[in-house]
Structure 1
Amino acid sequence: MTTTTIKEFYDEMFGEYCPEVIKYVEEMDKKDVGHFNVFDIGEMFGACKAKPAMPYNRRTYYKISLINGKNKVEYADKTIEIEDFAILFATPKIPYRYTPYDNNQKGHFCVFTEDFMTKSKTGLLLDELPIYQPNTDFIFRLDARQYQEIESIFVKMHNEIQSDYQFKYDLLRNYVIELLHNGQKLKPMDSLIDNMNASSRITSLFLELLERQFPIESSTQALLLRNPKDYAETLNVHVNHLNKTLKERTGKTTSEIITSRILQESKVLLKSTSWNISEISNCLGFEEVAHFSNFFKKQSGLSPLAFRN
């Protein structure tokens, strides 16, 4: 599982960049306003040969999708079947797979980066919103009336992004905020839980999240996910459920797997770099050098310095 940047998103969706897409991305970079774009799902598939299926990965951007069609969304231990109308609020924190059942897909979606929203004069912090809290659902069913109401917001986005209005990005941020508030009023969709497939998926995603943090290649690099709670929140499952699943599938607890991988990396850094013990400790997420030293000695029987020498 990889992490997809906003530029890689276009390549992932369209196979290769469309000329107008390249130009737009470059213009947004120059304006230093973060990134925002909005698409008509039906139109873009034909125009740029977009790939409707989205594989498992983590993204560096947020995405709001207004869906009209038969689709399946899989994340952690849940599978959501979409029969007609729905809206999906994707966050960089949750990896998911999106699969359409046919080519009869309509709707809209917008993508935006966190820095696009932080430019807002309201000072909005996305991760503080209820809809983006850990262990919350992010797919909501809509009826025909709700679909039309939300579609009207996307239509305004399409019109505004083509305009020459001086403050159009402020207005587009307001439309995003309006979508977020509409989503927070909705009820999540019921999921189908296939225990065997879900267990395998959670285990695979956990191990990929773990491995994606390594190797540590710079003394300024630091682990983003350090403990079982961090991984459980990223996977949108309860920490006890993650632990139970990993124990059943691997014979080891979440903590044991994390500990083993951090110990492995610490040995590599001690032997292959000239970084001091404090730098290695910081990279691996320890608050104090003493904590790292105690951890290493408990796991290996040697102090970090003794192992290095």
Structure 2
Amino acid sequence: MKNKIPLLTTSNTMLATVVTFLLLATIVTIGMLTPLIAKLATGIELSLQPEYFNNRTAIPVAALVLLLSACMLIGYSERRYVLPVVGTSIFLSLLFAILSPFGNIAMDISVPVLIIALAATLYRVGKIYAANKNTATSGKIRKLSAHVIHIGILLILLGIILSSNMKIEGSAVLGTDGTGEFEGQPYQLKIIRMESYYSGEAFRNYPASSYTTEVDFDIYRNGDYFRSGQVKYITDFKWGQTYTTTYINRGLTEELFVAPRAIDESSGEIDLYMRTVPFINCLWGGIYLMAIGIIGLLISDRTSAGRTNNAIKRPRAGAEGRYDRMLEQEIEKRRTQRDKRKR
């Protein structure tokens, strides 16, 4: 079929992707080097907050995701459909930014683009699988592994955006006489036990090198029992520092994090910090898929190299094999004659 959009080719799309990626890498590199240059030039300690990078990399990352959608469709769908799909992504992002269904501008703009790019990648995977049913397993793995990596990258971006913009943080001072509420959280905590003890060898005037307070608690979700957990508040006399252990529950849809901030044994109260992070598993799932895709590429490359070497070493049968042997004999004969003339 004649290409009605001459500039919309695989090579041009890949070129635009590389240029955009270089722009993104340049922005990140400048941000990383700026504090170092400021320190060397003026002696001023400069620290760039995450907002610095988020605000400057948002547009290049969005462009990369749109280009990924185009790359997934070119070659497996008519080109006249590619631009409408990309245009729909942009339109939905602008519409969501105006209507704000998520109540967060970053999510409103990025979620439609990422979802459509993920759908385009899954469409490409389905087309490749359907077109290569009779292909050897190694060849099929090689063609699919790269797109598994793409799906992993999109899930990582989706997980970062959703978790960072939907997380809920709060703290509360709890005692052993009731259940504590955390503002904005669906979870409540009830202290069950608080016990302190010395541990380790004696140090200076202390009977041990550290002093530990264990706090056991029950977690309730919307009033119903959910889980039990424990955190520790440890004072290390030997190293002159205080540190804590944390409680983490990774569920299917969210991660719950609890950590002690301060403790008052005389009153039996503890200051606890709680953080709920929804959709964090999208990030972990994306990392696992990227690892699976990379492993698949390595395995398929190794298998293909082994088959190529076997094909080179194995003599061909029939007439083709006979001609190959005659050619080798003729080459060897001429090489011998040339060596005799030189002598």
In the superposition, the TM-score normalised over structure 1's length comes to: 0.22
Which has the larger share of helix?
Answer: 2
With CA pairs under 8 Å and 6+ residues apart, which has the higher RCO, 1 or 2? 1
Q: Greater CA radius of gyration, 1 or 2?
A: 2
Which has the larger share of strand?
Answer: 2
In the superposition, the TM-score normalised over structure 2's length comes to: 0.20
